[in-house]
A and B are shown apart, each in its own frame.
Chain A
Amino acid sequence: MSHVELDPRFASPFPQAVLPVLRNPQLRKNVAHAIDVIQTKRGRLVTEKTDWQELRNSAAAIRSHVLENLGAYLEEFEYRCTAAGGQVHWAADADEARQLILELLRQEKASEVIKIKTMTSAEIQLNPFLQAAGLDVFETDLAEIILQLGDLEPSHIVVPALHVNRSQVREIFARRMGLKDLSDDPKELTNAARHYLRQKFLTIPTAISGANFLIAETGSVAVVESEGNGRMCLTLPRTLITLAGIEKVLPRFQDLEVMLQLLARSATGERMNPYTSLWTGVTAGDGPQRFHVVLLDNGRTSILSKPKQRQTLKCIRCAACMNACPVYRQTGGHAYGSVYPGPIGAILTPQLMQMHYAQSLPFASSLCGACYEACPVKINIPEVLLELRSQVVNQERKQTGRFLDPLYLGLRVANLLFAWALLFHAAQWAGRLGLRLFTRKDGWIHWLPSVGGKWTQTRDLRGLPAQSFHQWWAARAKETK
């Protein structure tokens, strides 16, 4: 597999990054198959829920309310969590969060750490940082184990190894666990992973987790998962460090009622996820005895400050948008050059990067609207995509290279033409004349230069008709007079 870059600062622009994927039929088959399975299950479970739209409305209202009052709810969470024996730390950016976590691990004299359900840690590139500091880091979510042992990158936010099929998993496990006779029977593969994991769970006393929700009212943390490996990771260690984006907070415990009904159905097409872990601070004699929460900003308050873009932070990371996205179905996640792929990644990544990187992502969409329709918290992703596109164009207006790009030049000229019908009609005439050079006897254009070539590489274009509609109308009006 070719090198995959998920750091937006170094990743290729989307149109280039998709090329190796589009030339990899096995990968595309794996992605489309996995997506179709999830979508079929989701479709059934959404239809059976007669109050689906009301649930979406409630969830959207809860999440919007949180974002309008984020500071207050975070302080309430900090107060409650601290009162229950937890310690809350605030990290302004990735670097601060990494240093904080390393410092906490050093206090524990940890040389090894187990991890569960924390995409946010991938956002801040925690693993390579801890490894460079001399720690051994072990992922414990099944998909994450596959990726870590196979030295692969995640391509989805809920099923991060969806681009890897069973026989590829067998190969990775056989090679890395030294199990020559391993078959690709799912039961055998699960057993192999279980054996590998039990040793980690029983011997490593320090864990890092993510959070699906933080509850302000009670100071609790919620993690949802399918395997139970999270439950082990959250209960067995002596010390637990939870890393969470500041947007993850919910006002009340009761709000979970709405969120959990939507989350599992949207994410994996299940009525309820198998394991929902909820804990509040520290309980003597039960579970981790030292508990830290690291609250991460890393660009989030900047998103919060922009009213049109704020809705991006409503996201509960269910991946319904990428499962519904016809672009993602073709490309999988790697081409997005970020740990957050798909439609939500296309709006979140450039914003987290303060629009300095990943500027090609807002354009990686046909604006079909399937993501908005699927989103359980009603993020109008197309609206944010358009807003970001306009910001990117405003950046590019200042670049001479961009100014001369044929597509951009064409759009500027078109704008002039559309201001005056006479100019527009003259351009139609010129276009008809110019395109006649490329029109074959059958009346179709099979090849065009420049931007047009991007069209004709897979599609023909019908030659321009001799008479435009407005000419026909004018001629008819003259006749009937």
Chain B
Amino acid sequence: MRASLFITCYNDTLYPETGRAVVRLLEKLGVELDFLPRQTCCGQMHANTGFRAEAYSQAKRFVRLYRDAESVVIPSSSCVAMIRDQYPGLFQELGNEALRQELAVLLPRVFELSEFLIDRLGVEDVGAYFPHRVVYHASCHGVRALHLGDRPYRLLAKVRGLELATLPNVDRCCGFGGTFSVKNAEVSSAMLAVKLQDIVSTGAEYCTALDNSCLMHLGGAMHRQYAGMKTLHLAQILASTEEAQAEAAQ
């Protein structure tokens, strides 16, 4: 099976290790991955800040780049939500019927990582080993836009050695919200404090999610507050093997 990896602009820049983990994981599962070097951004930041014309040019670019892909895998739930929920409206609003139709054909082939694993590949046990206590942060876009449901939990349940902690108020926002985190920094920080309290109360060693933007927010606060917990994209847990863990321990 072939798939094209859309890494997203912030993963490319800030979290390349997540991308490397996706590659390790999917290649191990027999997926023939390719990576289009011309890719940049899905336009979410612009669309969510009100820069709709700018978002439109990103959206147009995405559809033109990926229209021939067999599948597109994206390790970021909010970017997938952008493509699925906002692109159709953008194209309709700007009267680009041709693009809207191209998108309609492309959309069923665009997958968030856990969707790709479970819905496309039909895999729950990816052969991962991660002997740690982990808490899963179900990002808003994962819960309410993509309706990922129990997919991430099914994947985590099959990771050997992993002990999954239960997060209270699991569907409550961490307060990131893209530019909201700087435009309304004080409220964002107040929301973050509440979320962090819930996460830290689980006593987990790692907080994982399917969206590094939430993790950047949570991890930034954990580091500031010496919370003794680390953040890790789910792809990195799923790509983790006994050999890799042994290597890391040395």
Contact = CB atoms under 8 A, between A and B. Distances in A.
Interface of A: 14-15, 18-19, 22, 326-327, 329-331, 362-370, 372-373, 383, 386, 389-394, 407, 411-412, 414-415, 417-421, 424, 428, 431, 444, 446, 451, 454-455, 457-462, 464-465, 467-474
A200 B223 CA distance: 59
Contacts of A461: 216, 220
A18 B186 contact: yes
A460 B48 contact: no
B137 interface: no
Interface stretch (B37-45, B112-120, B155-163): B37-45
B186 A15 contact: yes
A18 B187 contact: yes
Interface in B203-250: 216-217, 219-221, 223-224
Contacts of A468: 12-13, 16
Interface in B166-181: 171-173, 175-181
Interface stretch (B54-62, B103-111, B126-134): B54-62
Contacts of B171: 370
Contacts of B19: 469, 472-473
**10 closest Cβ pairs, A-B complex:** A366-B177, A389-B50, A459-B220, A393-B50, A368-B173, A469-B19, A369-B144, A368-B140, A469-B16, A454-B182
Given A428-B13, A469-B7, A472-B16, 14 more contacts: A329-B194, A363-B50, A363-B180, A366-B173, A368-B177, A411-B46, A419-B40, A454-B183, A455-B185, A462-B220, A470-B7, A470-B37, A471-B16, A473-B37
12 contacts: A22-B190, A330-B187, A363-B183, A386-B52, A391-B50, A411-B45, A424-B40, A424-B41, A459-B224, A470-B37, A472-B20, A473-B37
Given A368-B140, A424-B40, A460 B57 contact: no
Nearest to B48: A367
Contacts of A390: 50-52
Contacts of B70: none
Interface of B: 7, 9, 11-20, 23, 35, 37-41, 43, 45-52, 54, 57-58, 61, 86, 89, 140-141, 144-145, 171-173, 175-192, 194, 216-217, 219-221, 223-224
Contact of B173 (A370, A428, A457): A370
Contacts of A418: 9, 40-41, 43, 57-58, 61
Nearest to B217: A459
B92 to A, nearest CB: 11
Given A326-B191, A364-B184, A414 B46 contact: yes
A366 B192 CA distance: 11
From A386, A418, A457, residue with most partner B Cβ within 10 Å: A418
Contact of A22 (B7, B23, B52, B187): B187
B179 A407 contact: yes
A367 B141 CA distance: 9
Contacts of A472: 16, 19-20
B144 A421 contact: no
Given A407-B182, A411-B54, A457 B46 contact: no
Contact of A393 (B23, B49, B189): B49
Given A15-B186, A368-B144, A473 B35 contact: yes
From A362, A391, A472, residue with most partner B Cβ within 10 Å: A472
Contacts of A421: 37-40
A472 B190 CA distance: 37
Nearest to B58: A418
A389 B184 contact: no
A182 B173 CA distance: 41
Contacts of B192: 458-459
A316 B130 CA distance: 49
A477 B52 CA distance: 36
A381 to B, nearest CB: 12
B177 A367 contact: yes
Nearest to B19: A469
A460 B216 CA distance: 9
B81 to A, nearest CB: 9
A407 B181 CA distance: 12
A429 to B, nearest CB: 10
B194 to A, nearest CB: 7
Contacts of B9: 418, 424
From A329, A451, A458, A470, residue with most partner B Cβ within 10 Å: A458
B215 to A, nearest CB: 10
A12 to B, nearest CB: 13
